[in-house]
Chain A
Amino acid sequence: MDHQILIAVLLLSPLLGFLINGFRFRSQSYVIAGTVATLAVTVSFVCSILLFIELLALPAESRRITAHFFEWINLGDLNINAAFVVDQISSIMLLIITGVGALIHLFSIGYMHHDKGVTKYFSYLNFFVFNMLILVLGDSLVTMFVGWEGVGLCSYLLIGFWFSDSAKAAAGMKAFITNRVGDAAFLLGMFILFMTFGTLNFYELNALAPTTMEASWLGAVTLATLMLFIGATGKSAQIPLYVWLPDAMAGPTPVSALIHAATMVTAGVYMIIRLNPMFVAAPNTMMVIAIVGAATAVMAATIGVVQNDIKKVLAYSTVSQLGYMFLAVGVGAFGAGMMHLMTHAFFKALMFLGSGSVIHAMHEEQDIRKMGGLRKYLPVTHFTFILGWLAIIGFPFFSGFFSKDEILWQSFSSPRGHTLLWVAGALGAVLTAFYMTRLMALTFWGKSRVDKNIHPHESPWTMTVPLIILGILSVISGFIGVPHAIAEFMGHIPNYWQQWLAPVIRPLPIEELQSVTHTLSEEYMLMGISVFLAMCSAIFAYVVYTKKKHIAENTAQSLKPIYNLLDNKYYVDEIYFGAIINPLVKQSRNLWYYIDVNVIDRMTHVASDVATNGGKLVKTLQNGNMQQYAMYVSLGLIIVLSYVLMR
C-alpha cells in the first residue's frame, strides 16, 4: 500500500506542478514558477530513490513493485489497467529522469529567467516529466503508449515554445508528425502482439515470448517487433525518422537537454529493453535494429562534422549516440544499451546544458564560428564541458568509454553481431571524436571571434551547479558497469550493472552463444584500435581547428560535393518534402478538386439541374393565361372523350 502511495506521489507531484504553474501561466515570476517545478521533480526524485532502496531490499528475482490504480479500458479480452511497475529497468530510468530532470529544472531557472513565458515553460516541463514517468512506469504497452504520445505532445509544445517564430512552430509540428508516423506503426505492433498473445502487459508478454527463434520475416513476433521498432525510430530519432530531432533544437536549450538528449529520445531503446525477450525471439528484427542503429550512428556523425550551430552539432551527436544504443540492443547487448543510455543521459545533458550556458553567455548566439576562446570567460562551463567531451569521445575511464566500448565489443563478438557493425561503430567513434573536438576547439579554445558588443560572462549558480553535478556523474558513472575485460585488467571490479539487470534480460539462446568464441586478447586489441583511432582523430581535430584552420577550409574546398552533401544533411528533408509531403498535398488538392467538386458535386448538380430544367420546361405551360388553362381543360376533356369513344 505504501508503495502505491509512493508511486502515486512520484507521478502526481510533477502533474501537480504542471497544474499549479499551468493555472498561473501569465505570471512572469521565474522564482516561484521555477521553485514549484523544481520542487515537484525533486519530490519525484526522492520517491525514486526510496523506491530504488526498497527494490534493493527485495531478492533479485522478485524485484518488482507494482501499483494498480484503476481499470482503464476493459472490453472483450482487452484489460488495460492504470497500473505502474517499478523494476530493475524502470527504476534506473526513474532515477535518470527525475535526477537529471531536477537538475535541468534547476538550470532552467537561471536560463529562462528573462523569458516572459517562464511559468508556461515550467508547467510544460513538469508535464513532460509526468508523461515520461508514465512511459517508463506503465505496466503495459498501452500505458506506455500514453506516456509515449504524451512526451511527444510536450516535445511539440516545448519545441514550439517560442511560437511566434514560424520556423520553430513548424519544427514542433514536424516533430509531432514524424513521431506520429512511428506511433502508427507502434499501434500496429501492439495489435499484432495482442492478437497473438492476448495481452499487452509487459510481464505477461515477456513470459509468453517464444523461446524458439522465429525465422520468417512475416511471423507475428518479427512483424510486431519490427512495427514497434519503427515506433522507436520515430521517438528515438533513427533512420528514417530522425529528421525531426535536429529541427527540435528550436526549443529552449534545457529542453533539448532534457527531452532531446537525456530522456524522451531514449524511450525507444527503453521500450526494446523492456520487451527484450520478444525481440530476442525475432532475430530478423534484431538484425534490422542493429543495421539501422549502426547506419544512424555513422550517418549522423558525418553530418555532425560540418554543422556550425552548437546545438545542431549536439543534436546530430545525440542521433549518432542513439544509434549506438540501438546497435547495442540489436546485437542483444541490452545491458550495454541501457548503460549507454544512462551515461549518454549524463554527458549529453551536461553538454547541452553547457551549450545553454554558452548561448546564454553569448546572448543567444549559437554559431560556433562566432565563438572561440570562451575558456577565459566561462571557466566552469568550460571545465564541465571538457568532462562531457572526454566522456563522449570515449576517453579511457570516463563513463562513455565503458559503455561505448562494451557496445563495440558486443557488436563484434555477439552471435548476432558482425565485423561490419563493429567497423561502423568504430568509424562512428572516430567521427564523434573529431566533431566533438572541433566543437570544443571552435567554442572554447583558439582565438576569440566573439563580436565586440558581446561580453560573455559566467552563468549564475543555478546553472553551474547542475553542470558540476552532471560533470561528476559523467566521469564516475561508468564504474558501476565496468566491462568484463577491463574489470579483469583493473582487478576484478564486479559488474554491478549486469548483475542488477540480469533478472529482467533474457540472454540470447545458448546454442547461438556457443557458436561463437572470442578471446580476451581480441577484445583488448579491438578496444585498443578504436580508442587509438578516436584519440588520433581528436588530436587531429584539435590541431586543425585551433592552429591550422586552412586545412579544414582547403579540405572543404577540395571535397566540395561531399561537403555540400553533408552540409545539406544528405538532402533527406528535401527528399521527404519532394517525394512525400509536397506531392501528397498537391494530390490532396487534386483529389478534392476532382473527386469532391468535379465528380460527386457535379453529379449532384446534374441531378438537380435535370429537376430544375424539367420544372422550367413545365413552367412554360403555367404562363398565367387563364384561357390557356381553360384550353388545357378542354384538351383533357377531348382526350377523355376520345378514349370513351375509342373503347
Chain B
Amino acid sequence: MNIGASSSILSLIIFLPLLFALVISFWPQRQTLRELALGFSLIQLAVSLLLLRDFDSTTAALQFTEQFTWIERFGISYFVGVDGISLMLVILTTVLMPIMILGSWKSISEQVKGFHVALFVLQSAMLGSFLAMDAILFYVFWELSLIPMYFIVGIWGGARRIYATVKFFIYTMAGSLLMLLAIIFMMRLTPEVTGGAISASLLDFYKLEIPFIAGDFFTPQTLLFFAFAVAFAIKVPLFPLHTWLPDAHVEAPTPGSVVLAGVMLKMGTYGFLRWVIPLFPDASSHYAWLFIALGLVGIIYGALVAMIQPDMKKLVAYSSVSHMGYVILGLFVMNVYGMGGSLYQMLNHGISTGGLFLLIGMIYERTHSREISKYGGLAAAMPIFTIFFIIVTMSSIAVPLTNGFVGEFLILMGAYQYSFTASIFAVTGVILGATYMLWMVKNIFFGPAGEIVKASEHDPEHRLHDMSKREIAVMLPIVILIFWMGLFPNTIMDYSKQSINHLLQNKQNYSLEVK
C-alpha cells in the first residue's frame, strides 16, 4: 500500500468516519456492533498513521491539500490541508476513538447503534474542523461537531443532562455566531487580495491586512479579533466563559466526557493558533495581556474551585479549566516555548484528562456514585485501578517523565520569558494542581474504608471487582502514551516545530505555502 502525498488521504480521513457511521446505522446485528465500531476506529487510526508516516516535518507548508469549488459565487471551496499545527490533533482524535469505544463497552447499554453513529459523526466533524482550510468549511464542521455531542450528552447522559446539553449548545452557538459574522465580514474584504473575487480560503484571509489602531476598540481588526476569540474562548473554555464545562462533563457519559475534554476543547485552542493569532497579529499582540491574565485567572481559579468539588467529574472538569488556562497562557506569550508547550499540552490534556474520565467512568459503573466523600480505602479493594489512577494523576499534575511535565515546563518557561510576574502566578497552579488531585486521590483511595468500600465488603452483589482485562486494555495505551510523551517528547514535537517557528517568525505577514 502506497498512499502518496498526491492522493486524497485527508478527505479519506474526514469522510471515512461518516461512511462508518452509515454502515453502523444499517448493521443488522446488535451483538457485533461494538466490535464493528472498534474495528472501524482502528482502521481510521491506521489511515491517520499513514498520514503521519508521509508527513514531511521539515517544512511549515500546508501538505496533502485538496481544493474543490463548492459554492463558486462566494468563493467557498472544499479546501483541506494539514500542517504541523493540526497533524498531532488529528492523530489525537483518531487515537482516542478506539479507546473511547472500548471504554464505553459496558457503560452504554441503550441505543448502542445510535451512540456509535453519533461518535463517528462527531469524529468526522472534529477531524474536519482540524483540517479545513476554508473558513466556511471550517464553520460547517465546527457546528456539525455540536450536533452529535448534543445527542451524546442529551441521550446517554446523567440526570440533569438536558440542562447541561442546552447550556453547552447555547454557549457554543453564541460564540460561533460571532465567528460566522466575522468570517462573512472577512470574506467581503477578500476581493482586495484576490483581485476581485470573494474568497473564503484561509490562505486568502492570511493575505488580508486588516486595519488596526492600538487603543481604539472599534477598529475592524480588534472587533474581528474579539469575535473569533470569544468563539474559541468559549470552546476552550477560558475563564469566565467556562461554566458550561463542569455541567457538561458531569452529565456526559464517560466517552462523551473523554471526547469533550480530549478533543473538543482543543478545537478552541487550535482555533486560536490557526485563526486568531495569524489573522489578527496586531490585535493579538495588543490584547495578549488580557488573554494571559484570563489564562492565569483560569489556572488559579480552576484549581482553587476544583479543590472544593465534592464530585469527581466536576473536580476533573475544573482541572480542565486550569489546564486549558495553561494552554492559553502559552499561546499568548508568543514565544517558541510557550507555543510549543501549548501545542504539547493540548495533547497531554487530551490524554491525561481523557484517562481520568475513563477511570472515573469505570468506578462509576461499579458503584454508581461519583461523590468523593463516599469513597475511601479503595486502594485495598482495587489495587490495579489505583495504580492506573495514580499514574494518570501524576501525568495530570505534571510529574517529570510523564507527558504533563514537558508541556507545563515549556509553557511556564514561555510565561517567564514574557514576564516574571506571570510566571509566578502560573507556578502557583503547579502547587494547587497537586493539591486538588492528591486530595482526591487520598480521599478516594487511601484512608479507612469508606461507605462504598464497606458496603462492598458485606454485600457480595456489590463486590468491587478490580479492573477487567478490557479495562486494562483501555488504559494501557493511555499509560504508554503518557510515558512515551514524557520520555521522548521530541518524537512528537518535531512534527510541529517548523510550523511554530514559521508562525512566530512571520507573525505580521503570515502565509502558508501549499506543498
Chains A and B share a contact (CB less than 8 Å): yes
> Would you give the shortest CB distance from B71 to chain A, in whole angstroms?
32
- Per-residue 0/1 for B153-178: is the Cβ within 8 Å of any A Cβ (1 yes, 0 no)? 00000000000000100110000000
For B335, the chain A residues whose CB sits under 8 A away are 76
Could you say which residues of chain A place their CB within 8 Å of the CB of B240?
Answer: 595, 599-600
The reply to whether the CB of A548 lies closer than 8 angstroms to some CB of chain B is no
A150 touches B435 (CB 8 A): no
Within 232-255 of B, Cβ neighbours of A (below 8 Å) are at 240-243, 246
Q: Does A184 contact B (CB under 8 A)?
A: yes
Q: Is the CB of A585 within 8 A of B308?
A: yes
B488 proximal to A (CB < 8 A): yes
A72 to B431, CA, bound (A): 24
Name the prevailing secondary structure of the A interface residues.
Answer: helix
Given contacts A142-B409, A153-B399, A160-B446, contact A75 B308 (CB under 8 A): no
B308 touches A72 (CB 8 A): no
CA distance A73 to B412 in the complex (A): 14
Closest-CB distance, A144 to chain B (whole angstroms): 10
CA distance A342 to B312 in the complex (A): 45
Please tell me if the beta carbons of A78 and B243 are within 8 angstroms of each other in the complex: no
B379 near A601: Cβ-Cβ < 8 Å: no
With A and B bound together, what is the CA distance between A173 and B436 in angstroms?
10
Structural contact, A591 and B301, CB atoms closer than 8 A = yes
- Assess the B439–A173 pair: CB atoms within 8 A: yes
CB distance from A642 to the nearest CB of B (A): 36
**Closest chain B CB from A158 CB (angstroms):** 13
Which residues A155-210 have CB closer than 8 A to chain B? Answer: 156, 160, 163-166, 169-170, 172-173, 176-177, 180-181, 183-185, 187-188, 190-192, 194-195
- Interface: A71 (CB within 8 A): yes
Q: Which residues of B contact A608 (CB under 8 A)?
A: 170
Q: Is B337 an interface residue (CB 8 A)?
A: yes
Which B residues touch A190, using CB under 8 A?
Answer: 413
Asked if A169 and B446 sit within 8 Å, CB to CB, the answer is yes
Interface contact A595-B301, CB-CB below 8 Å: yes
> Are B401 and A150 in contact, with the CB atoms below 8 A?
yes
In the assembled complex, B449 has its CB within 8 A of some CB on chain A: yes
Asked if A163 and B379 sit within 8 Å, CB to CB, the answer is: yes
A183-B430 Cα distance, complex, nearest whole Å: 9
Which of the residues A74, A183, A188 comes within 8 Å of B416, measured between beta carbons?
A188
B2-60 at interface with A (beta carbon < 8 Å):
none
Q: Quick check: A73 and B489 within 8 Å, CB to CB?
A: yes
B386's nearest neighbour on chain A, judged by CB, is: A163
B501's nearest neighbour on chain A, judged by CB, is A76
> Which B residues are in CB contact (< 8 Å) with A177?
431, 434-435, 438
Chain B residue contacts of A587, Cβ below 8 A: 304
CA distance A608 to B169 in the complex (A): 12
Which B residues lie within 8 Å of A70 (CB)?
488
Nearest 3 pairs of A and B residues by beta carbon: A169-B446, A191-B416, A163-B446
Q: Could you pull out 16 A-B pairs where Cβ atoms are within 8 angstroms?
A: A75-B337, A76-B337, A148-B400, A150-B399, A160-B446, A165-B447, A173-B438, A173-B442, A177-B434, A183-B430, A184-B431, A587-B304, A589-B308, A592-B308, A600-B241, A601-B243
**Taking beta carbons and an 8 Å cutoff, which residues of B are in contact with A?**
167, 170-171, 240-243, 246, 301, 304-305, 307-309, 335-337, 340-341, 376-377, 379-380, 383, 394, 399-401, 405-406, 409-410, 412-413, 416-417, 420, 423-424, 427-428, 430-431, 434-435, 438-439, 442, 445-449, 487-490, 493, 497
A: residues with CB less than 8 A from B are 25-26, 70-76, 78, 82, 142, 145-146, 148-150, 153, 156, 160, 163-166, 169-170, 172-173, 176-177, 180-181, 183-185, 187-188, 190-192, 194-195, 584-585, 587-589, 591-592, 595-596, 599-601, 604, 608
